[in-house]
Amino acid sequence: MLDSPYTRYDGDVLHGRYPVLTGVWVDLAAAFPRPSGVPRRVVADGLDMTGSVPGVLSGWFRSVDGDWYGVVNYPIRYADGRRAHVQLADQLLPSTALRKRD
C-alpha cells in the first residue's frame, strides 16, 4: 500500500495498525479524458474507460499546484463483457474523478 501524508490509520500497537479505507466511485471519463476532436473508435476487446466503477481510497497527495490526488484501488472492465477485469492498485487519481460511495 502506498503510504501518503494524508493516510489515516486505525488500530493500535498491540493488535496492529491498518489504513482507514473509504469507498469511492471513480469517474473513468474524468480520470482519463479523451482529447477533444479525436473520434471514438470502439475496440471490442479493449478496456471500457467510460462510466463509474467502485474503488477504495486509502490516502491523499497534494500537487505543487495545490490539486488533490487520491490513492485508489479500482477495477477497469473489458468492453466485451467478460468477467475478468484489470485491478489497479495504489493509483493516483484527481479528486475531480472521485466521489464518496454511500
**Structure-block grid coordinates of residue 40:** 471514438
Phi-psi region of 84 (alpha: psi -120 to 50; beta: other; left: phi over 0): beta
Distance CA 94, CA 61 (A): 10
Mean pLDDT confidence for 70-91: 96
Residue range 40-71, pLDDT digits in tens: 888 989 999 999 999 999 999 999 999 999 99
Position 62 in a domain: yes
pLDDT band at 78 (very low <50, low <70, confident <90, very high): very high
Q: Which domain holds residue 20?
A: 9-33+46-100
End-to-end alpha carbon distance in the chain: 23
State how many domains the chain has: 1
Place of cell 473520434: 39
Mean pLDDT confidence for 6-11: 93
Position 38 in a domain: no
Position 65 in a domain: yes
pLDDT of 32 > 90? The answer is yes
Position 1 in a domain: no
Tally of CB atoms within 10 A around 36: 5
Position 41 in a domain: no
Position 25 in a domain: yes
